[in-house]
Amino acid sequence: MAFLFKRNPKTPGEVVRLLNEQVAKIDTTNDRRKDEAARYLKQMKLILHGDDETDPVPDQIAQLAQEIYQTDTLFVLVDHLGSLDFDSRKDVVTLFSSLLRRQIGSRAPTVDYLLSKPKILLLLLKGPENPEIGLVCGQILRHCIKFEGITRFVLQERCVWNCFQYCQLSTFELATDASNILYDLLTVHKKPASEFLTQNYQYVTLHLNRLIQLTNYVTKRQSVRLLSALILERQNHFFLNKYVDDPNNLKVVMLLLSDKSKNVQIEGFDIFKVFVAKPKKEKAILDVLIKNKENFIKFFENFVIERSSGNLTLIEERDYILSEIKNLPDIERRSSVPLVSQEADEQVYGTDP
AA identity, residue 3: F
Q: How far apart are CA 235 and CA 332, in angstroms?
A: 40
Report pLDDT digits (tens) over 103-114: 999 999 999 999
Mean pLDDT of 158-170: 96
Report pLDDT digits (tens) over 51-99: 878 888 999 999 999 999 999 999 999 999 999 999 999 999 999 999 9
Q: How far apart are CA 74 and CA 65, in angstroms?
A: 10
pLDDT for 216: 92
Q: What CATH class is the domain 1-144?
A: mainly alpha
Is residue 88 within 8 A of residue 34, CB to CB? The reply is yes
**End-to-end Cα separation, the chain, in angstroms:** 50
Nearest to 344 by CA among 273, 244, 252: 252
Nearest to 157 by CA among 128, 188, 96, 200: 200
**32 C-beta neighbours (distance < 10 Å), count:** 10
Rg (CA), the chain: 26
pLDDT for 74: 98
Mean pLDDT of 241-258: 96
pTM over 0.85: yes
Q: How far apart are CA 199 and CA 213, in angstroms?
A: 24
When mean pLDDT is compared across 55-59, 188-192, 311-315, 345-349, the lowest value belongs to 345-349
Is residue 227 within 8 A of residue 212, CB to CB? The reply is yes
pLDDT for 30: 67
**What percentage of the chain exceeds 90 in pLDDT?**
82
Mean pLDDT of 142-171: 97
When mean pLDDT is compared across 31-35, 69-73, 153-157, the lowest value belongs to 31-35
Helix, strand or coil for residue 211?
A: helix
| pLDDT confidence bin for 132, thresholds 50/70/90 | very high
Is residue 123 within 8 A of residue 79, CB to CB? The reply is yes
**53 C-beta neighbours (distance < 10 Å), count:** 9
Helix, strand or coil for residue 86?
A: helix
| pLDDT confidence bin for 31, thresholds 50/70/90 | confident
Mean pLDDT of 286-312: 86
CA 244 to chain centre: 23
The helix/strand count (H/E) of the chain reads as 21, 0
